[in-house]
């Protein structure tokens, strides 16, 4: 054994691990040395016979057992509730609803809430939407598609979609041929519905002619000659707009549409850089349009009241800045 300069460990005990394990397990250790005796005495004291004060609460426990068997709250429970009442807190009672029932109720509540939200957003399938309309006054179901040969196509509009001008034909359930739509489709419905009728009858091969939520009235760049419904060409700019003038509230087709209608149409959402030709000594460059100054360069059609463009290069108008608001 090397002669180490430091002393041996002080915590090395005379009691071996085997003796301690035997003592803890309630056995008599083989090592009966003097070092084991104190540990055996400690364990014997811990396992001594119960004192009188350790058996005091037997009557209370039996009363609790008896009352529990009878179904009434026992003395310990009553004392606990009394203590809780003294502390100003309601006593904690055992829940009568099992955990599974509570989870099922929470799941049903969340599902019902989501269903109601979807119903008020009008995005449910038509039968469910009709049921929601009848049950919780959600918006009515809208037709998702109208076939060209469907009687509803005679009116060329969906209920509540084309405004008041074409509301009456929508309730006409006669077939299109009875209204003369196949012979003269554009003449059957006035105004904007005429364009839809043209589209509905011009492409009979398509199964779904138009969605009820679509706006069919994208103005045609050149009116079809001979069309009687919109015989007089509308004067105005020939800019192809993504959105016609709204004549009534429209539902949103998607979240993107909602965002676009509520945020995207702000005129000054962000500064629009537009090319400005050079004036005098200033070179041509980019300039932020100032409010009150006309800097748009919109190609105007005949009869347009917009200002004359100062540049020869037309600028396509952006939906953010529709020319009708200038």
Partner 1 sequence: MPILGAVTGEGFAAVLAAAQAGSEPAFSQLWRDGNPALLRYLRVLAPEAAEDIAAETWVQVVRGLPGFRGDERAWRAWLFTISRRRVLDERRRRSRRPVIPLDDLPETRLPDVSDTADLAVEHLSTRAVLALLAGLPPLQAEVILLRVVAGLDTESVARMVDRSPGAVRVAAHRGLRRLAQIVAQDGVTI
Nearest distance, CB of residue 36 and partner 1, angstroms: 8
Instruction: Specify the residue, 98 or 292, whose C-beta has the smaller distance to partner 1.
Output: 98
C-alpha to C-alpha distance for 210 and 201, rounded to whole angstroms:
11
- Both structure tokens of 73: 């709250």
232 binds partner 1 (CB under 8 A): no
Q: Which of 27, 28, 44, 177 binds partner 1 (CB under 8 A)?
A: 44
Window contacting partner 1 (CB under 8 A); options: 18-26, 176-184, 206-214, 241-249: 18-26
Q: Is 49 in the site for partner 1 (CB under 8 A)?
A: yes
In the structure encoding, which two tokens stand for residue 199, read together? 């589209």
Residue 27 interacting with partner 1 (CB under 8 A):
no
Tell me the closest approach of the beta carbon of residue 1 to partner 1, in angstroms: 24
Q: Which of 4, 6, 7, 58 binds partner 1 (CB under 8 A)?
A: 58
Residues 6+ apart with CB under 8 A from 285: 275, 276, 278
Should residue 22 be labelled a site residue for partner 1 when binding is judged by CB under 8 A? no
Distance CA 191, CA 198 (A): 12
CA–CA separation, 257 and 160 (whole Å):
19
Binding-site string for partner 1 from residue 87 to residue 126, where x marks contact by CB under 8 A and - marks none: -------x--------------------------------
CA distance 268 to 117: 32
- Residue 261 Cβ, how far from partner 1 at the closest point, in Å? 52
Distance CA 233, CA 220 (A): 10
CA angle in degrees (0–180, nearest 5) for 212-213-215? 100
Helix, strand, or coil here: 317? coil
Contacts of 94 (CB under 8 A, 6+ apart): none
Residues that bind partner 1 (CB under 8 A): 11, 13, 15, 17, 20-21, 23-26, 35-36, 38-39, 41-51, 54-55, 57-58, 60-62, 64-66, 68-69, 74, 76-77, 80, 94
């Amino acid at each position: 054994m090397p002669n180490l300069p430091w002393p041996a460990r002080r915590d090395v005990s005379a009691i071996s691990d085997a003796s301690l394990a035997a003592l803890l397990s309630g056995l008599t250790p083989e090592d009966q040395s003097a070092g084991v005796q104190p540990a055996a005495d400690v364990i014997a004291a811990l396992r001594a016979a119960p004192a009188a004060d350790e058996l005091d609460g037997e009557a209370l426990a039996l009363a609790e057992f008896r009352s529990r068997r009878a179904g009434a709250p026992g003395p310990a429970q009553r004392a606990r509730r009394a203590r809780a009442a003294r502390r100003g807190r309601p006593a904690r009672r055992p829940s009568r609803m099992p955990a599974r029932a509570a989870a099922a109720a929470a799941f049903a509540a969340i599902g019902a809430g989501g269903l109601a939200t979807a119903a008020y957003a009008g995005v449910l399938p038509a039968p469910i939407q009709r049921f929601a309309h009848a049950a919780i006054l959600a918006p009515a179901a809208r037709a998702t598609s109208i076939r060209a040969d469907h009687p509803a196509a005679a009116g060329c509009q969906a209920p509540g979609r084309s405004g008041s001008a074409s509301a009456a034909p929508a309730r006409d359930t006669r077939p299109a041929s009875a209204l003369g739509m196949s012979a003269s489709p554009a003449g059957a419905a006035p105004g904007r519905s005429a364009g839809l009728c043209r589209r509905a009858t011009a492409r009979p091969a398509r199964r779904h002619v138009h969605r009820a939520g679509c706006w069919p009235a994208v103005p045609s760049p050149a009116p079809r000659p001979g069309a009687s419904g919109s015989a007089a060409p509308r004067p105005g700019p020939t800019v192809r707009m993504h959105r016609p003038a709204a004549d009534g509230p429209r539902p949103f087709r998607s979240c993107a549409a909602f965002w676009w209608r509520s945020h995207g149409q702000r005129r000054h959402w962000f500064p629009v850089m537009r090319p400005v030709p050079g004036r005098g000594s200033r070179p041509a460059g980019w300039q932020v349009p100032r409010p009150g100054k006309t800097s748009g360069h919109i190609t105007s059609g005949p009869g347009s009241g917009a200002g004359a463009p100062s540049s020869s290069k037309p600028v396509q108008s952006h939906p953010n800045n529709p020319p009708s608001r200038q």
